[in-house]
């Protein structure tokens, strides 16, 4: 059966990006500077123009690798590499992506502490090893 995914034939490259945390070309992403809400809609899919950007993006594979490496499989959301949560649910087992350790319950408190100290959402995400969206959820939970 033929794979419906854009990375068919590049599974080894994708696996390498997941394992070795190589994301050098994420700075070339066509969505760089876009509002994250566009790719994390509360309901449904991003608009067609946004998904077309993903289809032609040089960073598409690295973006997908980042999501597969960093997200909690029980709480997938958003679109990475043009693929939604259900797509990533399907491909993660085939790629044998390890389930990340569950975050300790005090991550929301740590995010709130760093934010109160003047840290940006991006800085907090880097320190906690999660996405901006996850930091925003932590901050809401700690409020």
pLDDT per residue as tens digits for the range 20-39:
766 666 778 888 888 888 99
To 5 degrees, how large is the angle CA 30–CA 33–CA 39? 70
Q: Which of 5, 60, 6 is nearest to 29 (CA)?
A: 60
**Cα 120 from Cα 127, distance rounded (Å):** 11
> Confidence band (pLDDT; 50, 70, 90) for 105?
low
Q: Model-level pTM greater than 0.85? A: no
The region of weakest confidence among 2-6, 49-53, 107-111 is: 2-6
pLDDT at 121 over 90: yes
Taking the CB of residue 125, how many other CB atoms lie within 10 A of it? Answer: 20
């Amino acid at each position: 059966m033929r794979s419906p995914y854009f990375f068919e034939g590049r599974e080894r490259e994708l696996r390498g990006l997941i394992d070795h945390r190589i994301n050098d070309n994420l700075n070339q992403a066509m969505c760089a500077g876009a509002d994250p809400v566009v790719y994390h809609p509360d309901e449904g899919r991003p608009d067609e123009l946004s998904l077309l950007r993903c289809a032609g993006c040089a960073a598409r594979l690295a973006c997908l690798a980042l999501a597969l490496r960093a997200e909690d499989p029980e709480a997938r959301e958003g679109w990475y590499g043009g693929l939604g949560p259900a797509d990533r649910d399907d491909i993660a087992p085939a790629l044998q992506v390890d389930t990340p350790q569950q975050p300790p319950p005090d991550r929301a408190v740590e995010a709130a502490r760093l934010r109160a100290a003047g840290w940006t959402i991006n800085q907090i995400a880097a320190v906690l090893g999660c996405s901006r969206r996850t930091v925003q959820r932590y901050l809401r939970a700690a409020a």
